[in-house]
Amino acid sequence: MFKLRSLVTALALVGSISVASALETLPTVAPAPADNPTTQEKVELGKLLYHDPRLSSTGTVSCSSCHNTMLGGEDNRANSMGVHGQTGGRSAPTVWNSAFNTVQFWDGRAPSLEAQAAGPVTSPIEMGMKSWDDVIARLKTIEGYQVAFEEAFGKDSITKDNATKAIASYERTLITPHSPYDKYAAGDTSALTAQQVRGLHKVQELGCTSCHSGPAFNGPGVFQPFPIHSNPVFAAKYHFKDDKGLAEVTKKADDEHLWKVPTLRNIALTAPYFHNGSVKTLDEAVVVMAKTQLDKDLSTTEVADIVAFLNALTGQFPKQSMPVLPTTPGRTFN
């Protein structure tokens, strides 16, 4: 599944063909799995759980702490902060449009949003709960959650499986369509500036869209090696290879430095960049990607054109109202 060397080569060869491919707009509705059809009740419950810091051991960290829907869907930190001020080794990926990812997490270890939602809660450096049994026991004592779970799933339904299904259902509503690029792709040739059009043509010409393909610019669901081309200056400055990517999960040498292809949607809002958050600006990220993945040195004008195009991928964010969380009058968990 993860042996993609030949696929990477094939994609590179057909990169120029993508120039002529049809431009795709971002869907306004995300597909849901058969065992978790989206309902408004699930979405509302998931929204509560997503924003509730009581799902963490200290009562201080929620999903939204690292994946902020008031911003670009992450926290603009190189390394996100969990319970007791601990930080991990990776930068939080955006939650916006994550419904269109084939796999979740930088290393792609989760096959679905439901599986992803289960992980951080019991991570000792993220939300720090000892087990999901402890989470469920806590939720069962909160009357408001008893009501919300019953409305979404029926009686006696407060379970890990249903909690993660609800969070995933909420996350599937976090879509940002109608960017200038989408309007251009739909036929409005005035939606992009001349510079942005040059940038679009340049990313196609270079072959960037052989990996960052599809309506979400996140690829066809395969992993890609990063970095491909060694560069001693970048290696010393950014330490990209300190983290082995997928191999950290599989423990297989063939999987070293394989990563999920991240979306380019709203990328102008999600600095710093790359899995370790080591690159602070979008201009610099474009230079690094061109050199490490394509072995290309770009001119200042080419970089500016590409950055202008990437800014055109910022979509319209659905209005978010903060939920009123279920209360626990007269008591606390911490």
Residues marked as catalytic: 126
CA distances from 167 to 10, 63, 100, 126 (A): 37, 9, 15, 17
- Residues 61 and 128: their CA atoms lie apart, in Å, by 9
First-to-last alpha carbon distance for the chain, in angstroms, is 44
Residue 231 CB coordination number (10 Å): 15
